[in-house]
Structure formats: structure tokens, C-alpha cells
Amino acid sequence: MKRIFLLSIVPWLLLPVIVAAATARNVAPDDAYSMVSKRDGLYLLDVRTPGEFQQARLEGAHLIPIDQLVNRLTELPKDRPILVYCAVGSRSAQVVNYLARHGYPEVYNLYGGIYSWAQKGYPILQSRP
């Protein structure tokens, strides 16, 4: 009986360790720019609408609107860091937390979104993909 109890409680004890292994954090535009400049394996995820994406986006970004994310989760790599952005950082913050809870080990939110990125003068594409 004690053995069954211990076996049933061990997964709950390990859960915080598993969750803590995922990195989900906000990064300022300056830090995000460094990440984009220095990390070849960085996956850029834009979670805005297709219309917003057409107006302005980061070079190399992949568009998966937030309302499609759950159905397209398998498109995201688990073996690369992911930088998520939206217009001002609200939608992307939700996505980053979701991804961390679903086993993506290294996910970052562009704090302030593409607007804060553009205000710093960092490059954006402003034409149709």
C-alpha cells in the first residue's frame, strides 16, 4: 500500500522540476535584436493577423496567428529557441506561456512587440511576403 502511494506521488513531486526546465521570459528589443543577430537557429514566430504581417514583420518570421496556434503547434520546432512577437507584446506573452507549458524548452516574448522593435530603429520588412 505504501509503495502504491509513493509511486502515485512521485510524478507530482517531479512536476515543478519539469516545468522549471522550460525557459519563458520577456526580452527587451535590444536583447531581441542581439538574439536575432547572433543566433542562426532562432525561430521567429509572429502571432498577429495576416493583415498585420503584410504591413510589417521581422525578416525570416513565420506567421501563425494566435487563433490558429493550437491547431498548428506541430509546425514549431522544440529543438530551437523561439522568439515570439505581436504588435505590442500582449498576444505573444500568452503564446510564450502556452508554449512553455507544452514542453517548448526555450521561448522568449519580444516585450513591447514589433512596435517597440521599430521604435528602436531595428529593421522591419514592409511589403507583402
Per the annotation, the verdict on 111 as an active-site residue is no
Q: What is the pLDDT of residue 39?
A: 77
Q: What DSSP string runs through 55-76?
A: H-B-TT-EE--GGGTGGGGGGS
Determine whether domain 22-119 maps to CATH 3.40.50.720: no
Cell 498585420 belongs to 52
pLDDT tens by residue, 19-44? 445 789 999 999 999 999 997 899 99
Which residue among 64, 86, 107, 114 is the active-site one?
86
Q: What is the pLDDT of residue 21?
A: 54
Q: Model confidence at 10, in pLDDT bands (50, 70, 90)? A: very low
Q: What is the pLDDT of residue 53?
A: 97
Q: Give yes or no for residue 7 having a pLDDT over 90.
A: no
How many Å separate Cα 67 from the centre of its chain? Answer: 15
- Residue 90: other Cβ atoms inside 10 A: 11
pLDDT tens by residue, 42-63? 999 999 999 999 999 999 999 9
